[in-house]
Amino acid sequence: MTWIIWLLPLPPLLAFFVIILFTNKNKALSHGIAVGAAGLSWLGSMVVFITAIGTEEFGKHIFESAINWLPTGNTWLQIGVRIDPLGAVTLFFAAWTIFMIFIYSIGYQNFGQPKGDHDRPGLPPHGATVEEHGKKHTVPSIEPMYSRFFAFLGLFAFGMYVLVVSNNLLTMFVGWEIMGLCSYLLIGFWYGKPSARNAAVKAFMTTRIGDVFMLLGIAFLYSATGSLTFTDIFKPEVLEALAAAKTPILGLSAAGLIGLLLFIGTVGKSAQWPLHVWLPDAMEGPTPVSAMIHAATMVSAGVYAAIRMFPLISLDPATMSIVAFIGAFTALFAATIAVAQNDIKRVLAYSTISQLGFMIAALGVGAYVAAAFHLVTHAFFKALLFLGSGSVIHGMEHGALHTGDHADVQDMFNMGGLRKKMPITFWTFLIGGFALSGFPVLTAGFWSKDEILADAFGHGHMAVFVTLAVAAFFTAFYTMRQITLTFFGEPRTKAAEHASETPWTMTLPLVILAVFAAGFGWVGIPEHFPALGGIVPNWFHEFVGSTLAEHPEAVEFSWIPLATSLFVALGGLGLGWLVYRNVKSPKQDFLQIPVLKNKWYFDEAYNFLFVKPAYWIAEKFTSLFMDRWLIDGILHGAARFSLFLGHFFRNYIDKPVVNELIGDGTGNLVKASGSGLRKIQAGRIQYYMVVSMVVLVIFAVLYYFLIGGM
């Protein structure tokens, strides 16, 4: 079994190289290779997953194998693969979503469409003019860097697979960084747009801040335990030793500090407050990339890593409190921003931040199974929503090109009435949206979110519980706002009027993901749930719960969280419908509040607090003052002083004393004695003298040290 796991990441990587090196010119072959590679990895993942769930007591009989990699002193740092229950479910959703996104990209990047009239690499395609029935009109044109896009997607998928199958922090970090790099390449895919370039740098930089802390955490962990393999570091005696060791930082134990450092990596990668700023800007990339980053891979990887590190993080209560606080705060904070966004993708971006906050909060209250559950369901419904929004944008673009309408095709106020134009997209988006809102029983999102709320309540974290409940209410509300503005009512622009359903390569992935978004929740119904509990066993809890030696207790059933969860979901959805069914323009929208629209001014604040001062220090202080003024100044001062000394010696000592008194004086003496030697001096004598003096000194020194010492 382990050989398949070793091979899982390879097909997308090979696809990357083959496309970049050989098939760049041939678009059909390139996407064939990329999709084929994703399909292979998907197939392998399914084999691994099915074998895993068929294995008795899989938590104790995981798949693992390792080889030597980095020599360290007398031993080797090993790297290897490992699939345990948590890895298996992560592999499951990653494989599905990645494969769907690959297929979807074929349609999204306009395969089969003509070349654009003025398209050039680095900018989104602008459309091509075609003649049909003697009439000219504009249709979407194929992406100019079509093959390169699939190559980058392949590399991205490789990163995710490496991360999931790793049995150690080091290769996990490698996969983690590859994804960071790919996010940079893909967010900046349309590098001709300055906004895309800036977003790419911002995404990379912000996650990088998290990464260096994570790297420090890894370094510390390695120093403390001498290993980075999960099996070794999660041994009870190792964990005990880490929990007992004290550190001088914040009074945390070693375990707490390492956990915190690793968690900061997650904060960056999963876009938690205060490092959340990159994710909404990441919308600058093509939509399949957004789905890739927001659902299938990158942000999920952050939460996955945090869940993976749970045994370590959970050792120190202080760290756990920080985790719970950041998660809950982010969940609510991002939800408040989402309600005021008009860009269809930005709403989803903030909802992603918010939902990741739910998972982190669940982790913080100790409910790691609930966090994993929500991670999986979220991956499905969020991939669905992003691909759905991409489909909407694509349909809108079609209409815009057809009619020559220049309205912003991502602004929801330019949409409306799309349910009739794009029925498949509408129904699947509805399922995804309801899953996000936690629509009771029918959707996967309900079960996972309910479990988080129940756990927060059951473990007595009332503040977390209330915060998350409010956030969930907002979630349902803005989701319904989005659905209403996009799909209901009448078309508000020409583009919306002429929007058309997208090709099957795009709708098929939507349908498949919709099945999971609705159905996946059934594997995790709590045993004591009224009416439904116990009919299907709570497989997810059993399975993922066996990841750790200590099986987590299922919380006792209580009506309070269930009622809350029902109320916030249905109430939010209902209110959203009531408020927005008649809204036609942003002016009628009472939530266009500047502070929310401007994301609580975090970008501005960071710019003012960090970016500008950093530049000031770099430019004014370090570069101009220290380097150019102070150090160079001293240097030039010294140079000028020695020049001055030179002039001084020459003009006041050399010329009057040596030259005239001794030199010329001697000369005069000689002259007086006899004219035969007159030509020798001619002002040169001082030069010979200096030379001989120096030689003398050198010989003296050498003599002193070399000969004198004998």
Partner 1 sequence: MQFPFLSVIVFTPLAAALVILLYKAEWKKAVRWTALAAGLFALALSVWVYIAYDKGAAGYQFIEKYDWMPMFGISLHFGVDGMSVPLVLLTGIVMVTGVMISWGIEDRPREFFAFLFILASGVFGVFASLDLFMLFFFYEIAVFPMYLLIAIWGWIKTREYAAMKLTLYLFIGSVVSLVGALVMYWTAAQQTGALTFDMLALETVKFAPEFQKIWFLPVFLGFAILGGLFPFHNWSPDGHVAAPTAVSMFHAGVLMKLGAFAALRVGIMLLPEGAKFWAPLIMSLALVNIVYGAFIASVQTDFKYVIGFSSVSHMGLVAMGFATLNADGMTGAGVQMFSHGVMTALFFAAVGMVYDRAHTREIPKLGGMVKPLPLVAIGVIVGSLVSMGMPGFSGFIAEFPIFRGIWDTKLWWMAIVAAISIVITAAYVLRVVLKVFFGDMPAELEGHITPIKPLDKIALVLLMALMIGIGILPALMVPWVETGVKHILSLLGGA
Please give the residue ranges that form the binding site for partner 1 (CB under 8 A): 68-73, 121-122, 170, 173-174, 177-178, 181, 184, 188, 191-192, 197, 200-201, 204-205, 208-209, 212-213, 215-216, 218-220, 222-223, 248-249, 614-615, 617-619, 622-623, 626-627, 631-632, 635, 705-706, 709-710
For residue 444, what are its two tokens? Answer: 């996967």
In the complex with partner 1, the residue whose CB is nearer, 420 or 612, is 612
For residue 379, what are its two tokens? Answer: 């991956």
For residue 441, what are its two tokens? Answer: 């029983």
Q: Which residues pair with 166 in a beta bridge?
A: 81
Please, what is the minimum distance in Å from the beta carbon of residue 156 to partner 1? 14
Please, what is the minimum distance in Å from the beta carbon of residue 208 to partner 1? 5
In the complex with partner 1, the residue whose CB is nearer, 222 or 557, is 222
SS3 (DSSP) at 19: helix
Please, what is the minimum distance in Å from the beta carbon of residue 631 to partner 1? 5
For residue 162, what are its two tokens? Answer: 């490496």
In the complex with partner 1, the residue whose CB is nearer, 33 or 169, is 169
In the complex with partner 1, the residue whose CB is nearer, 661 or 700, is 700
In the complex with partner 1, the residue whose CB is nearer, 204 or 516, is 204
For residue 394, what are its two tokens? Answer: 């694509």
Please, what is the minimum distance in Å from the beta carbon of residue 700 to partner 1? 14
- Apex 88 CA angle, 87 and 92, nearest 5: 115
Please, what is the minimum distance in Å from the beta carbon of residue 209 to partner 1? 5
For residue 341, what are its two tokens? Answer: 């966004």
At which residue do the structure tokens 């940079």 appear? Answer: 184
Please, what is the minimum distance in Å from the beta carbon of residue 255 to partner 1? 16
**72 Rama sector, left if φ>0, alpha if ψ -120 to 50, beta otherwise:** beta
- Rounded CA-CA distance 569/561 in Å is 12
Backbone angles phi, psi at 80, to 5 degrees: -170, -175
In the complex with partner 1, the residue whose CB is nearer, 117 or 632, is 632
Straight-line distance from the first to the last Cα atom of the chain, in angstroms, rounded to the nearest whole number: 75
Please, what is the minimum distance in Å from the beta carbon of residue 218 to partner 1? 8
In the complex with partner 1, the residue whose CB is nearer, 50 or 618, is 618
SS3 (DSSP) at 166: strand
Which residues, in sequence order, are CB contacts of 361 under 8 Å at separation 6+? 323, 324, 327, 328, 331, 452, 456, 464, 467, 468
Backbone angles phi, psi at 340, to 5 degrees: -110, 10
In the complex with partner 1, the residue whose CB is nearer, 559 or 705, is 705
Please, what is the minimum distance in Å from the beta carbon of residue 220 to partner 1? 6
CA distances from 69 to 159, 168, 171, 381, 699 (A): 18, 12, 10, 38, 57
What stretches of 288-371 adopt beta strand conformation (E)? none
Please, what is the minimum distance in Å from the beta carbon of residue 618 to partner 1? 4
In the complex with partner 1, the residue whose CB is nearer, 463 or 697, is 697
In the complex with partner 1, the residue whose CB is nearer, 28 or 631, is 631
In the complex with partner 1, the residue whose CB is nearer, 531 or 710, is 710
Please, what is the minimum distance in Å from the beta carbon of residue 378 to partner 1? 27
- Rounded CA-CA distance 1/469 in Å is 43
Please, what is the minimum distance in Å from the beta carbon of residue 175 to partner 1? 9
**DSSP sequence for 643-678:** HHHHHHIIIIIIIIIIIIIIIIHHHHHHHHH-GGGH
Asked if residues 486 and 412 have their Cβ atoms less than 8 Å apart, the reply is: yes
SS3 (DSSP) at 80: strand
CA torsion through residues 305, 311, 312, 317, sign: positive
